[in-house]
């Protein structure tokens, strides 16, 4: 069975519609998929079409979300799986995080305009209220406006860590995010633990706190990750008594390092998150 428990649709910063994502997952032999859009679950309500329902005969879909959380001075991503999708705790999470995302997008636009990059705010407004706005959307605007040549350049110059558009400290706390997921009956997992550029000591502190707060697991296998990194994360799971998860972190076609279902399998010593679903 092929599990891909991390991917995005155009409800957040992916490019495919939820239906197209399901179709692509099936083409890539995924058996169990979790859509984990950033701080939103709207993709799940968009799967009522006949074509989408037909896909669900060939694929098991697990409720999912990737919640942004503040841990000390670092923004970390916490995956929530297999929760009750209409639970008040999830609705509260989504509402609060969307407010934070809109505020932040506006602050980023303001800062960029102060820097002399005009016409960003109107473009942010045009994105509308239905999607979960992130820095990739603003990167796309900067490309479309001719301010940079690529999304990569947008992150390097304006949006990446430490740059003017890297607005901090508006996410819910780690404790709150774990509580939302647990209250809705879900499983909480630290997404791509190696992406936060934490020292070994700080990573151990994060994992220890996460476990103490009721977190369930680590994403041991992610797209674009070396085997030795997965092994180290699997050992961390063993040490802390945590479950393990795997996913591609697919955002769009044309990125073979993060293609649906193309991630490596979990190391043998892992206890998969889906074992108790």
What's the CA gap between 171 and 197, in Å, rounded? 19
- Provide the b/e sequence for 90-126 (b: ≥16 CB within 10 Å): beebbebbbebbeebbbebbebbeeeebeebbebbee
- Provide the b/e sequence for 48-85 (b: ≥16 CB within 10 Å): eeeebeebeeebebbbbbbbbbbbeeeebbbbbbbbee
Does 151 interact with ligand AMP (rule: CB under 6 A)? yes
Does 13 interact with ligand AMP (rule: CB under 6 A)? yes
Per-residue H/E/C for 192-243: CHHHHCCCHHHHHHHHHHHHHCCCCEEEEEECCCCHHHHHHHHHHHHHHCCE
3-state secondary structure of 23: helix
How many residues bind to Mn ion according to rule CB under 5 A? 5
The single residue among 64, 251, 260, 267 that binds ligand AMP, judged by CB under 6 A, is 251
3-state secondary structure of 115: coil
The single residue among 6, 24, 38, 216 that binds ligand AMP, judged by CB under 6 A, is 38
Instruction: Between 55 and 141, name the residue whose CB sits nearer to ligand AMP.
Output: 141
Does 27 interact with ligand AMP (rule: CB under 6 A)? no
Question: What is the per-residue DSSP string for 35-103?
Answer: ---BT--HHHHT--SHHHHHHTTS-EEE-EEEEEEEETTEEEEEEEES--TT-HHHHHHHHHHHHHHHH
The single residue among 155, 171, 250, 274 that binds ligand AMP, judged by CB under 6 A, is 155
Does 71 interact with ligand AMP (rule: CB under 6 A)? no
Does 152 interact with ligand AMP (rule: CB under 6 A)? yes
Residues paired with 218 in a beta bridge = 190, 244
Does 77 interact with Mn ion (rule: CB under 5 A)? yes
In whole angstroms, the minimum distance from the beta carbon of 70 to Mn ion comes to 14
The single residue among 11, 30, 82, 135 that binds ligand AMP, judged by CB under 6 A, is 135
Q: Which does 272 bind (CB under 5 to 8 A by kind): Mn ion, ligand AMP, none?
A: none
In whole angstroms, the minimum distance from the beta carbon of 222 to Mn ion comes to 9
> Quick one: which segment of 52-60, 110-118, 130-138, 263-271 binds ligand AMP (CB under 6 A)?
130-138
Site string for ligand AMP, 192-211 (x = CB under 6 A): --------------------
The single residue among 25, 249, 261, 263 that binds Mn ion, judged by CB under 5 A, is 249
Question: Which residues are near Mn ion by CB under 5 A?
Answer: 13, 66, 77, 191, 249
Question: Which residues are near ligand AMP by CB under 6 A?
Answer: 13, 38, 134-136, 151-152, 155, 160, 251
């Amino acid at each position: 069975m092929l599990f891909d428990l991390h991917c995005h649709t155009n409800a957040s910063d992916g490019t495919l519609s939820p239906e197209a994502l399901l179709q692509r997952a099936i083409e890539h032999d995924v058996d169990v998929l979790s859509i984990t859009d950033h701080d939103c679950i709207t993709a799940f309500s968009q799967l009522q079409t006949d074509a989408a329902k037909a896909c669900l005969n060939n694929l098991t879909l697990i409720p999912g979300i990737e919640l942004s959380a503040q841990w000390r001075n670092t923004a970390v991503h916490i995956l929530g799986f297999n929760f009750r999708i209409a639970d008040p705790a999830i609705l509260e999470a989504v509402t609060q995080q969307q407010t934070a995302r809109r505020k932040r997008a506006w602050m980023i636009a303001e800062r960029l305009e102060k820097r002399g990059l005009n016409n960003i705010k109107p473009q942010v407004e045009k994105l509308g209220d239905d999607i979960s706005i992130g820095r990739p959307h603003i990167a796309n605007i900067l490309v479309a406006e001719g301010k940079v040549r690529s999304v990569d350049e947008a992150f390097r110059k304006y949006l990446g860590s430490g740059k003017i558009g890297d607005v901090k400290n508006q996410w819910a706390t780690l404790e709150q995010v774990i509580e939302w997921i647990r209250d809705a009956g879900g499983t909480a997992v630290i997404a791509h633990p190696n992406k936060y550029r934490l020292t070994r000591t700080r990573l151990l502190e994060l994992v220890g706190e996460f476990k103490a707060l009721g977190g369930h697991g680590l994403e041991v296998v992610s797209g674009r990750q070396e085997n030795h990194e997965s092994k180290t994360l699997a050992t961390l799971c063993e040490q802390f008594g945590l479950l393990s998860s795997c996913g591609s972190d697919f955002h769009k076609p044309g990125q073979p390092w993060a293609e649906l279902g193309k991630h490596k399998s979990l190391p043998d010593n892992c206890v998969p998150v889906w074992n108790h679903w």
